A and B are shown apart, each in its own frame.
With several copies, the nearest count.
Chain A
Amino acid sequence: MATKTPAAKTESVLSLRQKLARYSTVRNWLLLLVFWEIIGQLRLVADGALPAPSAILARMWVDWADYPPHIWATLEGAGAGFLIGNAVAIAAGVLFATFPLTQRLARGVNVALFALPPIAVSPILVITFSDMTPRIILAAIGCYFVTMSATVTGIQQTDRRIVDVVHAYGGRQWKTLIYAQMRSAIPAILSGLRVAAPNAVLGSILAEFGGGGRFGLGVYLIGSLGRGEPDRLWGIGLSATVIAGLAYLLFSLIATRLTGTSKAVTVPASPPAPKAEKSMVLTLALGTVSFALPFLLWWLMLAIMGTPAMIAKTPVGLFDYLFMMPSSLVSLGKLATALGQTLPMTMVGMAVGLSFAFALALCSVLYTAIIRGFMPVALVTQTMPLVALTPLLVLILGRGPSLILWITVSVTFFPAFVTMAQGLSMVSRAAIEVPKAYGAGPFRQLWLVSIPASLPYLFAATRLAVPRALLGVMIAEWLATGKGLGNLLNQSRGYLDYGMIWSVSVVSVLISVLFYQIVVAIEQRVLSKRGMAPAQ
C-alpha cells in the first residue's frame, strides 16, 4: 500500500523533474565543454588545429579591445536584416497562406532567393549598394525563406474547427488571421525565427567579406584568416554564435511557453481539404508564370539599378552567352562538366542532410537533454563561416567526399531539424495518448502518431533542406575540392567572366527549383492521401 503524500509535495517533485531536465541540459553543455577542452589540450584533433575553449577564451581576452566595434557592426547589419527580412517574410507568408495562388506564382522567386549562392550575390550587392545595405540585404535574404515557409506552414496547420468558429461569426480572412491563424502559427513562426537568427548573423558576416566597411566580425575574420591562428578564428566564430545563440534561446523560450497552449486539446478531425480541381491549363499557366517571374524580376532589377551590361547579364544576355557566342560551346562544356561533378554529391548530401535532421528531430523528442546539449554545436555550424572552418575540416576529413558531405549536411540540416522538431512538438497530447494507452513506448508513439501527424512539417522541412544541398556542395567545392559548380563560380569571378557567374547562379537555382518541385509533388500525393493540407 502506497503512502499518502500531500499534493503540494508532488508539485515540488514535478518541478524538481523539470529542474532535473534543465540541469541535465546544462550538464551536457558542461560535458561537451570539458570534452572539447580535453581534445584541445591534448591536441587530439588535426594536430591541435582545434583549439581548446580555454585557449579561445584566453585569446579573446587578449583581443578584447578589437571586438566591440566588430560585434556592434555585425549586430547592426544582422539585426536590421533580421527585422526587415522577417517582417517581409511574415507578411509574405500570410499573403501566401491566405491566397494560395500567390504562393504558387511566387514560388520561383522564393526558391531562387533561398538557393542563390551568397558568393555570387554578395559581389553584386557590394557594387550595387554601399555601407550597411549589402549586409542588411544578405541577412534579410537569409531570414526570408525560412520564416516565410514557417509562417505558411503554421497558418496552414491551424485547427479547422477553430477557423470554423471564427467563420461562423462572420469573420473572414482578416479576422480569421488575427484570432485563429496567426496565434496558432506563432510557435511555427518562432521556429522560423530561430533558424533566421543564425542566418542573419551569417548573412551579415558574408556580406562583410565584400569589404567597404572597416568593421564587422566578417571583416575581422578575413583579416585574421591569414594569421594561421585558429584560436582567433574560433573566438570570432563563437562571438557570432553567441549573438545568434542568444536570439535562438529567446525564441526557444517563448516557443516552449506557447507551444503547450497552441496545440489542439482533442485530436482534430476536420474534413480533408477538398481535392483541388486539377486543371491542366491552370497548373501549366501558374507553373509558367512562377518560372518566368524570377527572370522578369531579375531583368527589372537590373533595369532599375542600371547595373552595367558587362556585369549584369540580363536573361537575354545570358542566352546569348550560353548559346549564341563563339565561346558558347566551351562555356556549355564547362558547365556540363561542373554539373556532372556537383550533382551526384548533391543527391547524397541531400539524403544524408535530411536523414541527419530527421534523426535529430526524433532525438529531440526521445532524448531532449542530449539534443539541447547539442544545440550550441549546431549553432556553431550555422554561424561559423565555412571559410574559417574548412581548413580545420580539411585537416580532419581531407578533401574527399566525406568533407563535401560534412559541409553539405552542415548547410542543410539545421532549418529542417528545427522545423521537424517543432512539428513533433505540436502533436496534440490526446493523439499521443492513444498508443500510450496501449503501452506504446516513445518510439512507437513517434512512429504511429507523432511522425504521421507532423508530416506537413516534415515536408516543409524537406522543402527547406533540398535547395540548400546544392549550395552546400558548391561551397565545399569552392573551398576545398576545386571541382564542380562551386569552383567554376569562384574561378569565373577571377576571370571577370560574368556570363559564367550568372550561368552558374541560374543553373544552381534551376536545379534547386527542380528539387523543390519534386518535393512538392511528393508532398501533395502523400498529404492529400492522408487528408492533410499540402503545400500549394
Chain B
Amino acid sequence: MNAEHGITINQVSRSFTGRGTLVQALSDVSLDCPEGSFTALIGPSGCGKSTLLRLALGLDAPDSGQVLISGMTPQAAAKSGKTGVAFQDAALMPWRTVEDNILLPLDVLGRKRSAYHDEVAKLVKLVGLDGFEKALPGELSGGMRQRAAIARALVTRPEILFLDEPFGALDQILRRQMNVELQRIWMESNATTLLVTHGIDEAIFLADRVVVMQSKPGRISRIIDVPFDRPRTPDLFAHPTFHALEKEIAEALDGH
C-alpha cells in the first residue's frame, strides 16, 4: 500500500445535526486506496457515500479523523489539479455550454484551454454528446447532463478520480459502453479511482475492490477483492465467479 500517492481515509467520523436529530453519516471509517487502484463503494442510500467523497474532496471536514490525498490535505490535492470528480448531481453550470462546462476545471486550475482542445472533442465523443457541444445544460436530457459531468471529471486527466454514481441516469447499453470506456481510460491513466455505484455488476466489472458500506451509522462493513484480470470484457458478466461475487456483495449489502 502506498499511502503517499493514493487515498488514505483514517478513522473518519462525521455527523450532522439536522432539524433536531443527529445523523451519524460516517462513523470511524478507514479506507486506503493505493495509487492506481480502482475502488468501488457500494451501500444503501443514505449510508454516507457522498459524504465520504465530499470529505475526500475537501468540501467538508470530518469531525474527527483524517483524510489524505496523495499525502496532502484534500484541499491541497484539489488545488494541485490531481483530482477529478463527477458529482451525484450533474452540477453543470446552466449558463455554460456543454463544452464550456467540460472545460470548467481547466478554468479553475488556470490551465490553458487551447491545450485541451482535442481532449475535449474526444471526451464529448466518448460520452456521446457530439453535436451538443454548444447546447446549454437546460437543453439536455437528464442522462445527457450526467454524461457531460463525466466528461468534465475526466478532462484534467486526473491522477485521482472520484465518481459519485456517474452512470445512474444512463440506459443499460450506454452504461456498459461507459463502463468499458472508463476501464480503458483508467488503464491508460492509472488514476486512483473511487467509484460510488449502486450497480453491483458495475462495481465488480470495474473495481479491484468493492467496499460495502452500511448505514446508521455509516460505516464500512466489508471489503471484497475482485480477482479478474484486465482488460475485462463484457463476457465477464456471464462468468460464474462474477455471479458468486455478485451474490456475496448482495449479501454483504443485506447485512449478512
Is chain B found bound to chain A in the same assembly? yes
Nearest CB in chain B to that of A435: its residue: B108
Question: Is A229 in contact with chain B by the CB < 8 A criterion?
Answer: no
A164 with B91, Cβ < 8 A, contacts A272-B138, A438-B83 known:
yes
Q: Are B91 and A266 in contact (CB under 8 A)?
A: yes
Q: Are B139 and A271 in contact (CB under 8 A)?
A: yes
For the A-B complex, the count of residue pairs with Cβ-Cβ distances under 8 Å equals 195
Residues from chain B with Cβ under 8 Å of A411 in the complex: none
Cβ proximity bits A224-263 to B, threshold 8 Å, 1 near / 0 not: 0000000000000000000000000000000000101111
Q: Are B136 and A272 in contact (CB under 8 A)?
A: yes
Question: Is B94 in contact with chain A by the CB < 8 A criterion?
Answer: yes
Q: Are A265 and B65 in contact (CB under 8 A)?
A: no
Q: How far is the CB of A188 from chain B (nearest CB, A)?
A: 14
Q: Are B139 and A272 in contact (CB under 8 A)?
A: yes
CA A269 to CA B144, docked complex, whole Å: 12
Residues from chain B with Cβ under 8 Å of A267 in the complex: 89-94
Question: Is A359 in contact with chain B by the CB < 8 A criterion?
Answer: no
Contact of B108 among A1, A170, A430, A531 (CB under 8 A): A170
Q: In residues 87-129 of chain B, which contact A (Cβ within 8 Å)?
A: 87, 89-96, 104-105, 107-109
Contact of B89 among A161, A184, A436 (CB under 8 A): A161
Residues from chain B with Cβ under 8 Å of A489 in the complex: none
Question: Is A513 in contact with chain B by the CB < 8 A criterion?
Answer: no
Q: In residues 18-65 of chain B, which contact A (Cβ within 8 Å)?
A: 22, 24, 54, 57-59, 63-65
**Which of A2-10, A104-112, A392-400 lies at the interface?**
A2-10
Q: Are B64 and A2 in contact (CB under 8 A)?
A: yes
Nearest CB in chain A to that of B18: its residue: A272
Q: Are A436 and B59 in contact (CB under 8 A)?
A: yes
Q: How far is the CB of B233 from chain A (nearest CB, A)?
A: 32
**Which of B8-16, B172-180, B246-254 lies at the interface?**
B8-16
Cβ proximity bits A1-44 to B, threshold 8 Å, 1 near / 0 not: 11111010011000000000000000000000000000000000
Residues from chain B with Cβ under 8 Å of A179 in the complex: 93, 104, 107-108
CA A373 to CA B90, docked complex, whole Å: 38
Q: Are B75 and A170 in contact (CB under 8 A)?
A: yes
Q: In residues 162-189 of chain A, which contact B (Cβ within 8 Å)?
A: 162, 164-172, 175, 179-180, 183-184
Residues from chain B with Cβ under 8 Å of A261 in the complex: 94-95, 136, 138
Majority secondary structure, B binding face? mixed
Q: How far is the CB of B70 from chain A (nearest CB, A)?
A: 13
Nearest CB in chain B to that of A270: its residue: B138
Q: Are A175 and B108 in contact (CB under 8 A)?
A: yes
Question: Is B209 in contact with chain A by the CB < 8 A criterion?
Answer: no
Cβ proximity bits B69-95 to A, threshold 8 Å, 1 near / 0 not: 000000111111101010101111111
A433 with B136, Cβ < 8 A, contacts A161-B89, A439-B78, A530-B95 known:
no
Q: How far is the CB of B103 from chain A (nearest CB, A)?
A: 11
CA A56 to CA B40, docked complex, whole Å: 68
Q: Are B139 and A439 in contact (CB under 8 A)?
A: no
Residues from chain A with Cβ under 8 Å of B107 in the complex: 179, 448
Question: Is B140 in contact with chain A by the CB < 8 A criterion?
Answer: yes
CA A183 to CA B77, docked complex, whole Å: 26
Q: Are A433 and B91 in contact (CB under 8 A)?
A: yes
Question: Is A287 in contact with chain B by the CB < 8 A criterion?
Answer: no
CA A449 to CA B113, docked complex, whole Å: 18
Majority secondary structure, A binding face? helix
Residues from chain A with Cβ under 8 Å of B58 in the complex: 167-168, 436-437, 439
Nearest CB in chain A to that of B63: its residue: A10
Q: Are A439 and B95 in contact (CB under 8 A)?
A: no
Q: How far is the CB of A428 from chain B (nearest CB, A)?
A: 9
Question: Is A452 in contact with chain B by the CB < 8 A criterion?
Answer: yes
Residues from chain A with Cβ under 8 Å of B145 in the complex: 265, 269
A269 with B64, Cβ < 8 A, contacts A164-B87, A170-B79, A437-B58 known:
no
Residues from chain B with Cβ under 8 Å of A2 in the complex: 10-11, 64-66
Q: Are A168 and B78 in contact (CB under 8 A)?
A: yes
Question: Is A453 in contact with chain B by the CB < 8 A criterion?
Answer: yes
Residues from chain B with Cβ under 8 Å of A531 in the complex: 94-95, 136, 138-139
Residues from chain B with Cβ under 8 Å of A449 in the complex: 93
Q: Are B75 and A439 in contact (CB under 8 A)?
A: yes
Residues from chain A with Cβ under 8 Å of B59 in the complex: 164, 167-168, 433, 436-437
Q: Are A7 and B22 in contact (CB under 8 A)?
A: yes
B76, B87, B95, B108: residue with the most chain A Cβ atoms closer than 10 Å: B108
Q: How far is the CB of B51 from chain A (nearest CB, A)?
A: 10
Q: Are A4 and B13 in contact (CB under 8 A)?
A: yes
Question: Is A324 in contact with chain B by the CB < 8 A criterion?
Answer: no
Told that A5-B64, A438-B78 touch, could you supply 11 new A-B pairs with CB distance under 8 A? A3-B64, A10-B64, A165-B93, A168-B85, A169-B108, A267-B89, A270-B138, A272-B136, A436-B57, A531-B138, A531-B139
Interface CB pairs A-B, < 8 A, 28: A1-B10, A1-B11, A2-B11, A5-B64, A10-B64, A161-B87, A161-B91, A166-B108, A168-B87, A169-B156, A179-B93, A183-B95, A258-B95, A272-B138, A272-B139, A433-B57, A433-B87, A434-B93, A437-B58, A437-B87, A438-B79, A438-B104, A439-B77, A439-B80, A439-B108, A444-B108, A530-B94, A531-B136
The interface of chain B, by Cβ under 8 A from chain A, is: 10-11, 13, 15, 17, 22, 24, 54, 57-59, 63-66, 75-81, 83, 85, 87, 89-96, 104-105, 107-109, 136-140, 145, 152, 156
